[in-house]
Amino acid sequence: MSDVAMVGAEKLESIWKPRSAWAGYARAGRHGRTGGEAGITLTLRDEVGLATLIVADGKEAALDRALEASHGWSLPEAGRAALAGEEGLIWSGPGQWLAIAGTRRRLDGLADAVTGLASVTDQSDGRALVRVSGPCAREMLSKGVAIDLHPRAFRAGSAAVTSIAHIGAQLWQRDDAPTYDLAVARSFAGSFWSWLSHAAAEFGYGVEHGPGR
């Protein structure tokens, strides 16, 4: 019996490929308004490591020190993201942060590093991530984001938990270009893409795959 199972397992290996959260919805290439530079660039990001970090009662200072020692990270205050390159922490709620890293492996040791100080829950597959950039990025997002994205109110390092087109979304601004990262629950990816592509169409938009898969 076990021999049979082994044969089956070998045959199966070829199909164990991860599927992008955007697969079946987003197509790479130029879309929407034609001619001229695309107003919007949408970068699909799949190989990103994500984890929710929730602090244990009264352990915030110790958690901050532990993260600094293990990963060189610091806990951002409410409404902020503390990112260096592609990794760091994004405030998600009281006592709660989203840890992000360019690869999933980078988060492997996170739970051990904060044992007793915080709970770590892998969310790498739970969210669909897209990076929004281009000259019309802010204007396009204002069609769905009910918070003020003007540089006086929301700038590089700002983060928010909000909803877009009735879909819960986490949003943070990476730089002054401006470039934004958006995360929505994976099962909503199709509906979210429908809104995103509709909102971006009038500016002309390009879709590309980020590093990774």
Contact, 20 vs 191, CB < 8 A?
A: no
Looking at the Cβ atoms of 61 and 84, the one nearer to another protein is: 61
d(CA 166, CA 150): 22
Looking at the Cβ atoms of 62 and 167, the one nearer to another protein is: 167
Closest distance of CB 133 from another protein, Å: 19
Site string for another protein, 142-181 (x = CB under 8 A): xxxxxxx-x-xx-----------xxx--------------
Tell me which of 102, 135, 157, 190 binds another protein, using CB under 8 A.
190
d(CA 42, CA 196): 9
**Per CB under 8 A, which of residues 21..60 are in contact with another protein?**
21, 23-24, 32-34, 46, 52, 54-57
Looking at the Cβ atoms of 84 and 99, the one nearer to another protein is: 99
Closest distance of CB 27 from another protein, Å: 15
Closest distance of CB 47 from another protein, Å: 10
DSSP assignment of 87-134: EEEEEEETTEEEEEESSSGGGTTHHHHTTTTEEEEE-TTTEEEEEEES
96 torsion bin: left (phi>0), alpha (psi -120 to 50), beta (else): beta
Parallel, antiparallel or unpaired: strands 29-31 and 205-209: antiparallel
Torsion angle of the four alpha carbons 127, 133, 136, 138, in this order, in degrees rounded to the nearest 10: 60
Q: Measured at the alpha carbon of residue 170, what is the angle toward residues 78 and 58, in degrees to the nearest 5? A: 35
Contact positions vs another protein (CB under 8 A): 1-2, 4-6, 8-9, 11-13, 15-21, 23-24, 32-34, 46, 52, 54-57, 96, 118-119, 121-127, 142-148, 150, 152-153, 165-167, 185-192, 194-195, 198-199, 201-202, 204
